[in-house]
Amino acid sequence: MRRTEATLAGRVQDYFESLQVTLCEQLARMDGAGSFRRDEWKREGGGGGISAVLADGALFEKAGVNTSTVWGEFDDAFLKRVGGTQRKFTASGISLVLHPLSPMVPTAHANLRYLTRGDDVWFGGGSDLTPSYPNEEDTRHFHRSWKAVCDRHDGSFYERFKRSCDEYFYIPHRGEMRGVGGIFFDDLRGDLESIFAFVRDCGDAFLSSYAPIVKRRRGEPFGERERAFQLYRRGRYVEFNLVYDRGTSFGLATHGRAESILMSLPPLARWEYCFQPQPGSREAAAAEFFQPRDWV
């Protein structure tokens, strides 16, 4: 599985695996009770990864931080989907999904990836926030944190990547976004060293975008009503990930480890037929946040 040569691909893999260790340590301390189980796996056809999952903690009902580096050739079915004639690919990435137990603490997601197809090389990634009960202070903090990261590298990045996030994490059959957005970028080509520096900055900055929100919200009281609404909103998360998420599609199509690919799903979710929140309730107010807005 290891590709430790002093190439960009090797350095990217080393960074992702080092970041995984750091994030697991910091998230376990944030949780205060749980610990991460680490599973190393190998992929038939080339490569593998390391999955780290914390379950039933004091803060996180489920938290996962996965890395993988895989290579091989697209089969006929996937080649038909992506087009072109080049079958050979490599993909290296890190993905984290945090599902807190409290409905007052938002779910958070981040992903960074490096891909090649033949001679074509590019980076992608981003981070988004998915609260059950959105809060304007939290949402503005999250977006301003990511704007600061983007502005350190290119003044145009935040507006571009915020718009891409709004468009990507949209659920067409529901007419709403999965959450309150963040940044999303794909197909970043060109000066790969500069792009890699931006990607590292994104990875290193994730916790500063999220930890202050956790600190503000983890002590807020909640009851059965809030818990039920959280599970309802998690249903939207599941719908997006199984129907539209590119990483899920790519991982399954290239025969990755299903347990690791589906790590992003929450441990519990619910669907209620024709759910309508009570007018004037916090649940009704939440719906106003799940459309694109200027948060900065």
Is pLDDT above 70 for 2?
A: no
- How far is residue 102 from each of residues 59, 71, 131, 135, 226, measured CA to CA in Å? 7, 39, 10, 14, 9
Domain positions in the chain are 8-270+279-289
Q: Which residue out of 99, 109, 141, 143 is catalytically annotated?
A: 109
Q: What pLDDT, in 10s, does the model give residues 69-113?
A: 998 887 777 767 767 777 788 899 999 999 999 999 999 999 999
CATH assignment, 8-270+279-289:
3.40.1500.10
The enclosing H or E element of 53 equals strand 47-55
Positive or negative CA dihedral for 269, 202, 22, 139? negative
* Half-sphere exposure (Cβ direction) of 147: Cα atoms closer than 13 Å: 13
* Per-residue pLDDT at 101: 98
Q: Cα–Cα distance between 182 and 205 in angstroms, integer?
A: 13
| Residue 172 DSSP one-character state | T
Q: Cα–Cα distance between 7 and 229 in angstroms, integer?
A: 48
Q: Cα–Cα distance between 96 and 63 in angstroms, integer?
A: 7
Query: How confident is the model over 272-293, as a mean pLDDT?
Result: 93
Helix, strand or coil for residue 38? strand
Bridge partners for 126 per DSSP: 111, 184
The enclosing H or E element of 229 equals helix 224-243
Q: CA angle 114-15-115, nearest 5°?
A: 10
Structure tokens at 128: 């988004």
CB-CB contact of 265 with 127 (8 Å): no
Residue in the structure block whose two tokens are 């957005």: 181
How would DSSP label each residue in 103-170? TTSPEEEEEEEEEEETTEEEEEEEEEEE-SS--HHHHHHHHHHHHHHHHTT-TTHHHHHHHHHHHHTE
Query: How confident is the model over 267-274, as a mean pLDDT?
Result: 95
Q: CA angle 128-130-132, nearest 5°?
A: 165
Helix, strand or coil for residue 31? helix
Residue 119, Cβ density class (10 Å: 0-12 exposed, 13-18 middle, ≥19 buried): exposed
Q: CB 288: neighbour CB atoms within 10 A?
A: 9
Question: Does 109 qualify as catalytic in the annotation?
Answer: yes
* Per-residue pLDDT at 82: 67
Helix, strand or coil for residue 171? strand
Query: How confident is the model over 253-276, as a mean pLDDT?
Result: 90
Q: What pLDDT, in 10s, does the model give residues 33-70?
A: 999 999 999 988 889 999 999 999 999 999 999 999 99
Backbone angles phi, psi at 202, to 5 degrees: -60, -45
- Lowest mean pLDDT segment, chosen from 106-110, 181-185, 198-202, 244-248: 244-248
- The model's pTM: 0.93
Q: What is the mean pLDDT of the chain?
A: 93
Q: What pLDDT, in 10s, does the model give residues 151-184?
A: 999 999 999 999 999 999 999 999 999 999 999 9
